[in-house]
C-alpha cells in the first residue's frame, strides 16, 4: 500500500471511530434507548470520548518520532478537533441539563465542586487550541503555535485531574490515563530528548509538521 492510501485509510478509520460514539448517543437519545438515566450516559460518554481522543492526539508525535513515519502527523489535527467537539458536547449537556442554561447555577457549580473546576479549566485550555488549528493560524503564529499547542498536555492533565476528582472509589481508569499521559509527557521532555541525542536533524518543529499536515 502506498503512503497516500495508508494515510487515507487511517483517516477513514479515525472518522468512523470518532463519529461512532456520537452517532450512538444521538440515535439512543431519540429512540429512548440510553437507559434509565440518559443525561448521565450522555455526560459520561462525551467526557470519556473527549479524554480518549485528546490522549490519542498527544500520542501522534511520539509515534511519528519512534517510527519515523511522518504522514501519521496528519491524524493529529482531526484527533484534536474531535476531542474538542466531544468536550464541547460534554460542556453543553452539563450546562443544559445540570444547570438548566442558567449562568448563575453554572458559576456556583464551578466554584463548589472541584472536579467541575478542573473540567472547566481543561475545556478553557482547549478553546484556543481548536481556534488556532487552521493553516492561517499556523502560518501567522509560527514558533508561537508550537508553544501554544503544548497546552494540549495541560488540557490532558486537567482532564485527568477532573476524572480523578469525580470518581468516588474506583480510580483504576483515571490511573491508566495518568500513566499514559506521564509516558507521553516524559517522551517530550527536553531533558529526556537530549539523552536520546536530541531532536533528529531531519525532524521538523511542531508548527512545521502541522503546516505540512493540513
Ligand atoms: C466543560 C467543563 C466540564 C464540565 C462542567 C464537566 C463535568 C462533568 C460531569 C458533571 C461529569 C459526570 C460526573 C458524574 O456523573 O459523576 C463528567 C464526567 C467526565 N468528564 Fe467532564 N466536564 C468538563 C470537561 C471535561 C473535559 C474537557 C474532559 C476531557 C478532556 C472531561 C472528561 C470527563 C470524563 C473522562 C468523565 C467521566 C466519564 C466516565 O466516568 O465514564 N470533562 N464531567
pLDDT in tens, 181-198: 999 999 887 644 554 444
Q: Which amino acid residue places its CA nearest to atom 40 of ligand 1?
A: 44
Q: Is the dihedral of CA 32, 34, 40, 41 positive or negative?
A: negative
Q: Which amino acid residue places its CA nearest to atom 23 of ligand 1?
A: 119
Q: Is the dihedral of CA 127, 156, 206, 53 positive or negative?
A: negative
For ligand 1, is residue 160 a contact (CB within 6 Å)?
A: no
Q: Which amino acid residue places its CA nearest to atom 29 of ligand 1?
A: 51
Q: Which residue, 175, 119, 127, is CA-closest to 151?
A: 127
For ligand 1, is residue 78 a contact (CB within 6 Å)?
A: no
For ligand 1, is residue 116 a contact (CB within 6 Å)?
A: yes
DSSP for the chain?
Answer: --HHHHHHHHHHHHHHHHHHHHHHHHHHHHHT-S-S-HHHHHHHHHHHHHHHHHHHHHHHHHHHHHH--GGGGGGHHHHHHHHHHHHHHHHHHIIIIISTT-HHHHHHHHHH-HHHHHHHHHHHHHHHHHHT-SHHHHHHHTHHHHHHHTHHHHHHHHHHHHHHHH-SS--HHHHHHHHHHHHHHHHH-HHHHHHTTSS-TTPPPHHHHHHHH-
C-alpha cell at 9: 485509510
CA of 62 to the centre of ligand 1 (A): 26
For ligand 1, is residue 94 a contact (CB within 6 Å)?
A: yes
Ligand 1 pocket test, candidate residues 166, 171, 176, most atoms within 8 A of CB: 166
Please check the confidence at residue 200 and state whether its pLDDT lies above 70: no
Q: Which amino acid residue places its CA nearest to atom 22 of ligand 1?
A: 119
- The pLDDT of residue 1 is 63
CA of 37 to the centre of ligand 1 (A): 16
Burial class (CB in 10 A: 0-12, 13-18, 19+), 56: buried
Domain range annotation of the chain: 3-192+200-213
Half-sphere exposure of 90 (CA within 13 A, CB side): 24
Q: Which residue, 173, 178, 206, is CA-closest to 55?
A: 178
CA of 89 to the centre of ligand 1 (A): 11
Q: Which amino acid residue places its CA nearest to atom 15 of ligand 1?
A: 40
Confidence category of residue 203, pLDDT binned at 50, 70, 90: low
pTM of the entire predicted model: 0.92
- The pLDDT of residue 214 is 56
Dump pLDDT digits (tens) for 76-91.
Answer: 999 999 999 999 999 9
Amino acid at each position: 500500500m502506498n503512503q497516500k492510501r495508508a494515510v487515507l485509510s487511517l483517516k477513514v478509520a479515525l472518522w468512523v471511530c470518532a463519529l461512532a460514539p456520537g452517532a450512538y448517543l444521538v440515535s439512543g437519545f431519540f429512540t429512548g434507548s440510553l437507559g434509565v438515566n440518559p443525561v448521565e450516559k450522555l455526560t459520561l460518554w462525551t467526557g470519556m470520548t473527549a479524554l480518549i481522543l485528546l490522549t490519542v492526539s498527544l500520542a501522534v508525535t511520539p509515534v511519528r518520532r519512534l517510527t519515523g513515519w511522518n504522514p501519521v502527523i496528519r491524524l493529529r489535527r482531526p484527533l484534536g478537533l474531535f476531542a474538542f467537539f466531544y468536550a464541547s458536547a460534554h460542556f453543553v449537556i452539563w450546562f443544559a441539563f445540570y444547570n438548566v442554561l442558567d449562568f448563575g447555577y453554572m458559576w456556583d457549580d464551578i466554584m463548589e465542586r472541584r472536579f467541575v473546576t478542573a473540567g472547566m479549566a481543561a475545556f478553557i485550555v482547549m478553546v484556543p487550541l481548536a481556534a488556532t488549528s487552521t493553516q492561517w493560524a499556523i502560518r501567522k503564529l509560527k514558533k508561537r503555535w508550537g508553544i501554544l499547542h503544548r497546552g494540549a498536555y495541560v488540557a490532558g492533565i486537567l482532564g485527568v485531574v477532573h476524572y480523578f476528582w469525580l470518581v468516588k472509589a474506583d480510580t483504576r481508569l483515571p490511573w491508566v490515563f495518568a500513566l499514559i499521559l506521564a509516558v507521553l509527557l516524559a517522551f517530550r521532555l527536553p531533558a529526556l530528548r537530549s539523552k536520546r541525542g536530541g531532536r533528529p536533524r531531519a525532524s521538523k518543529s511542531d508548527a512545521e509538521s502541522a503546516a505540512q499536515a493540513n
